[in-house]
Amino acid sequence: MVAGMTARAAYRGYVQDGKRSSRVTRLHVIREVEPWESLPGPRFWCGQSAGPHRKSVPVILDPAPLHPPAGLRWCPACIGHLAERLGLLDDVAGEVVSYDPGLTDIHAEKWWELVGTQREVRRNRLLSGER
């Protein structure tokens, strides 16, 4: 991924109508293959194939949304690998391990608001080419 480039996300849809099966629960992040890599076809960061299968095609969201669509959750492996690649793994890990499940709803809401603000600052920094 190059500075200024946004991530793309995808989930599996049916070939005929593009609807999502109820068994599809993960939103994956597409790994952009570098020219020197010899991977067979597009991949997600978790290692799964991002190409079309016999009865399902990837439904690509470009750019990736800040929050997954209703009924989907982020693929933990994709997020972890991408955070590591972007140099944000320590920040993400720090936020996760400092989370206190005993917080009241109001405190949790403020915590998520703070995390969202921090993410937006990091995203803008990455898009401007800063580290």
The torsion angle over the Cα atoms of residues 10, 15, 20 and 25, rounded to 10 degrees, is -50
73-118, pLDDT tens digit by residue?
Answer: 999 899 888 888 888 888 888 777 777 666 555 555 665 666 666 6
pLDDT (tens digit per residue) in 3-24: 555 788 888 877 666 667 777 7
- Domain residue spans in the chain? 1-75, 87-131
Write down the pLDDT at residue 24: 79
Nearest residue to 49 (alpha-carbon basis) of 66, 30, 35: 30
Give the tokens for residue 51. Answer: 């190409």
